[in-house]
Amino acid sequence: MSGHSGQSPVPVESNGITPFQQMVASCSGALLTSLFVTPLDVVKIRLQAQKSPLFKGKCFVYCNGLMDHICVCTNGNSKAWYKAPGHFNSTLDAFIKIVRREGVKSLWSGLPPTLVMAVPATVIYFTCYDQLCAALKVRMGSHADEAPLLAGALARVGSVTVISPLELIRTKLQAQRQSYRELSEVIRSAVQAEGWQSLWRGWGPTLLRDVPFSAMYWYNYEKGKAWLCEHYHTREPTFAITFLSGAVSGSIASIVTLPFDVVKTRRQVEIVELQEMNLSSRASSSTLTVMSRIVAENGIGGLFAGFLPRLIKVAPACAIMISSYEFGKAFFRKHNQERLLSLF
């Protein structure tokens, strides 16, 4: 990695790139991930809507590979992309028919509004992780190997805390079919009715899923990457190494945290549907209550519902995001080194 120089035109960090460059790398990674993963989710939602039609007040989960978003069906929204007619026999059949009838662009239906939230969340998360990890490695001395575990958990707490109220407001705006101009009114009415803390409703269940996921993901990712680099006798990880490490660590973390994912989704949908019926969302159950209800209804297996779809979604998303992020960082690192060398 490049060192510091008094004449450096770029305020280079200890890992060879600036925080701004880390942000650019994570932003481009986030956009790439959403472009690759969204079509899978759009097709999944269309197949679900075929099985159980989406009516007013009904919610569905939309994932762009970066974040889950709760979407609410509104009345008079017959032109909505998820209500478009079509009879599909399988996932592949749906892909072909949607592209043929509605054009390639329709595979990214509903993506732009979700990116407003998902891209900043990803940028905060990845940049915080790198900064924290570098700082912790210095302070943890002999325990530096555990730094990714702690940095991953802390970075996720930070990004979830910032994004949670924004995501809740976005859902409210969508449910009440209001524009961003009426944003302050929506926030004021929410705070008046249920207090400031209501903006962080669902924060706990989100942390229960995302913090263990992040801690495991980064720990396994860094270990896997180091092991593969050693195995293939390379000092710098290749694109294939980061891609594989990301996919494997993402898969492990998603399997372990699946019960929390099931509970979080169930609770989020419950909260939004209660609000749609103009009932106080305080009536929604706690994480433990939802968990025991799922076990009572479907047995322990109920907590691992949607195992394969989550794995198919999370593994490629993690792999694309981390490999494009690492690629971006390597590009900037090389660029910074060249600029430094050109001074001598």
* pLDDT at residue 3, as a whole number: 41
Cα-trace Rg, the chain: 22
Summary count for the chain: helices (H), strands (E): 10, 2
| Six token digits for residue 275 | 């609000």
Mean per-residue pLDDT for 156-177?
80
Residue the block writes with tokens 């991930």: 33
Identify the three-state secondary structure at position 286: coil
pTM of the entire predicted model = 0.85
Residue 213 lies in a domain: yes
More confident residue, 82 or 146: 146
**Cα(310)–Cα(196) distance, rounded to whole angstroms?**
33
More confident residue, 175 or 200: 200
Q: State phi, psi for 239 to the nearest 5 degrees.
A: -60, -45
Distance of CA 296 to the CA centre of its chain: 30
First to last CA, the chain: 17
* Strand residues in 130-226 grouped as ranges (E): none
What is each CA distance from 187 to 180, 182, 295, in whole angstroms? Answer: 11, 9, 36
More confident residue, 311 or 171: 311
More confident residue, 96 or 285: 96
Residue 297 lies in a domain: yes
What share of the chain has pLDDT > 90, as a percent? 43
Could you tell me the pLDDT band of residue 301, with boundaries at 50, 70 and 90?
confident
Residue 150 lies in a domain: yes
Residue 4 lies in a domain: no
Identify the three-state secondary structure at position 64: coil
What CATH number corresponds to the domain at position 30?
Answer: 1.50.40
| Six token digits for residue 118 | 């998902």
Identify the three-state secondary structure at position 63: strand
Question: What is the H or E stretch that residue 309 is in?
Answer: helix 307-341
Q: Shortest CA distance to 221 belongs to which of 240, 203, 244, 201? A: 244
* Strand residues in the chain grouped as ranges (E): 59-63, 68-72
Could you tell me the pLDDT band of residue 280, with boundaries at 50, 70 and 90?
low
Given a contact cutoff of 8 angstroms between Cβ atoms, the answer to whether 325 and 29 are in contact is yes
pLDDT digit string, tens, across residues 136-160: 999 988 888 999 999 999 999 999 9
* pLDDT at residue 4, as a whole number: 43
What share of the chain has pLDDT > 70, as a percent? 88
* pLDDT at residue 10, as a whole number: 47
Distance of CA 30 to the CA centre of its chain: 9
Enumerate the β-bridge partners of residue 72. 59
pLDDT digit string, tens, across residues 28-59: 999 999 999 999 889 888 888 887 777 777 78
Mean per-residue pLDDT for 61-87?
79
Mean per-residue pLDDT for 105-114?
88
pLDDT of residue 112 exceeding 50, the answer is yes
pLDDT of residue 179 exceeding 90, the answer is no
* pLDDT at residue 269, as a whole number: 77
Please state the domain count of the chain.
1
**Cα(285)–Cα(299) distance, rounded to whole angstroms?**
19
* pLDDT at residue 304, as a whole number: 85
* pLDDT at residue 181, as a whole number: 66
Residue 5 lies in a domain: no
Name the residue range of residue 199's domain.
19-74+85-334
Residue 103 lies in a domain: yes
**Cα(65)–Cα(42) distance, rounded to whole angstroms?**
11
Residue 2 lies in a domain: no
Identify the three-state secondary structure at position 60: strand
Q: Shortest CA distance to 268 belongs to which of 292, 285, 291? A: 285
Mean per-residue pLDDT for 199-211?
84
**Cα(181)–Cα(192) distance, rounded to whole angstroms?**
19
Residue 105 lies in a domain: yes
What is each CA distance from 121 to 96, 98, 196, 250, 316, in whole angstroms? Answer: 32, 30, 21, 18, 19
